[in-house]
Amino acid sequence: MKRTLIDFFDQENLNNCIAHFFAHYDAAYYFYIEKSRNEKTERLFSSLKKFNREKAGVTPVFIPVSDRDYSVPRLLAKLASICEEAGPDSEVDIDLSGGNEFFLASAGAFVGGLKKSPDEGTRICMRKYDVPSGREIIRYPEDSPSGDRGCCCISVADQIFLHGAANLSRGLPLTDRRTTEKLWNSVRWFCRDWNRFCTDRQVISSKKDGGLTVCKEYSNSETKARLIRIADRLSASGLTGRPYEKTIEEKKYIAFDTSLSRGEMLLFEKSGTLLELVSYYAALESRRFPDVKVGLEVDWDGKVEKKPDDPKNEIDVVMSDGLLPWFMSCKNTAVTTEALNEIGVVSAHYGGKFARKLMATSQVASEGQRKRAEDMGVLLIDGIARMTVPELAERIAGL
């Protein structure tokens, strides 16, 4: 049986495509207000067209509604024309998940009129879906058949794409989870020292018998003591050998040998990388999210240009829960208003109105910071320095 979708374009693309997660359609029509077209809607149109073609296997038809056509009788005539074109022994679903009151009222009037004079050849059904729960919440008539698809889940890549952006990378290179946890448990109580340790100038060289020698430069006794504190922790965990002093070209270093690879040494170059990977592994362990990505670089408007000023963002952790995107900011410091604002802007742009905002910080937040996060709709997990990966996973699972 041929199945046709009639939808009303919404500024949230998850509302525009949710019907495709419940049923396979042979044709799809999207009504939109002609004068509402702008740069943002053009970007959403482009994403929606590509999603329909590549994910739903259908080429959508976009139908503008001009000022002249902005009346219920004219829209009813257009709806009737589509249903007639669908032909006998077919099914037409009118999706009410998006669109404005004019479209919704017209759809109700259309189906209500059919009830009085039913067309025996074409089954017409109004449906409405709820993105947060991923469920069908309205079906009229109630005895209409269910969709032929039961999986309501979207990947992180498709979430980003649907909102008019583009992935520029596959994310951070993943280090071994065991290595990541060992390093985290070694330094998590010394977050400030670790932040500075990662920014201290270093020299890495290969050893003849395999492995690496890492040298951290110091110029005063305070820096030397701080470097030794972290190096002793690394040695105690078994990740490195005992620290020792070394001089290279009259410069003083605290050095240590390690069997870690150069890829794993990326953890030592940027302090936030460790917390991002810890959060990534905790999100996976929570078993709440089918898809989790870490360290994504994303182009702001989907127009990838090789220019220094091409707007883009690096997102620490992105997770997909059913149809809901989650954006997580990881800070190896305390909560700041700037960081809260940043995650708010990023999540709204790349995830739309249904996006969930989450911030993970190593330090414990004050009551004022907690209130600020709550007011901005940001879920806060603070004091992560006190948590192991399984403990953080439990917190994430309970959100």
Boundary (domain end) residue, out of 224, 240, 262: 262
Give 144-187 pLDDT, tens digit per residue: 888 777 667 889 988 988 887 777 776 677 788 999 999 999 99
Give 344-367 pLDDT, tens digit per residue: 999 998 999 999 999 999 999 999
DSSP string spanning 268-287? GT-HHHHHHHHHHHHHHHTT
Does some domain include residue 43?
yes
Give 51-97 pLDDT, tens digit per residue: 999 889 999 999 999 887 788 888 899 999 999 898 888 899 999 99
pTM, entire model = 0.89
Domain of 75, CATH number, reads 3.40.50.10770
Q: How far apart are CA 324 and CA 353, in angstroms?
A: 10
Question: Residue 215: which residues within 8 A CB-CB, separation 6 or more?
Answer: 202, 203, 204, 205, 246, 248, 253, 254, 255
Question: Same domain for 145 and 30?
Answer: yes
Average pLDDT over residues 108-130: 76
Percent of the chain topping pLDDT 90: 64
190 pLDDT more than 60? yes
- Residue 309 has a pLDDT of 66
116 pLDDT more than 60? no
Question: Same domain for 324 and 277?
Answer: yes
Domain of 254, CATH number, reads 3.30.1360
Question: Same domain for 303 and 357?
Answer: yes
Question: Same domain for 379 and 330?
Answer: yes
Does some domain include residue 304?
yes
- Residue 118 has a pLDDT of 44
100 pLDDT more than 90? no
Question: Same domain for 254 and 196?
Answer: yes
Q: How far apart are CA 343 and CA 346, in angstroms?
A: 5
Question: Same domain for 243 and 284?
Answer: no
117 pLDDT more than 60? no
Higher pLDDT pick, 307 / 315: 315
Average pLDDT over residues 203-231: 94
253 pLDDT more than 60? yes
Total number of domains in the chain: 3
Does some domain include residue 365?
yes
Structure confidence at residue 338 as a pLDDT band (50, 70, 90): very high
113 pLDDT more than 80? no
Does some domain include residue 159?
no
Does some domain include residue 173?
no
298 pLDDT more than 70? yes
136 pLDDT more than 80? yes
Using CA atoms, how far residue 332 sits from 148, 190, 252, 260, 326, in Å, is: 46, 10, 28, 23, 19
- Name the token pair of 184: 């985290």
Question: Same domain for 362 and 256?
Answer: no
Domain of 323, CATH number, reads 3.40.1350.10
Residue 317's domain comprises 269-397
Question: Same domain for 11 and 115?
Answer: yes
Average pLDDT over residues 4-8: 96
Boundary (domain end) residue, out of 113, 134, 150: 150
Boundary (domain end) residue, out of 229, 262, 295: 262
- Residue 197 has a pLDDT of 95
Does some domain include residue 170?
no
308 pLDDT more than 80? no
Question: Same domain for 365 and 227?
Answer: no
Question: Same domain for 146 and 6?
Answer: yes
Question: Same domain for 215 and 127?
Answer: no
Does some domain include residue 230?
yes
Question: Same domain for 192 and 277?
Answer: no
Does some domain include residue 72?
yes
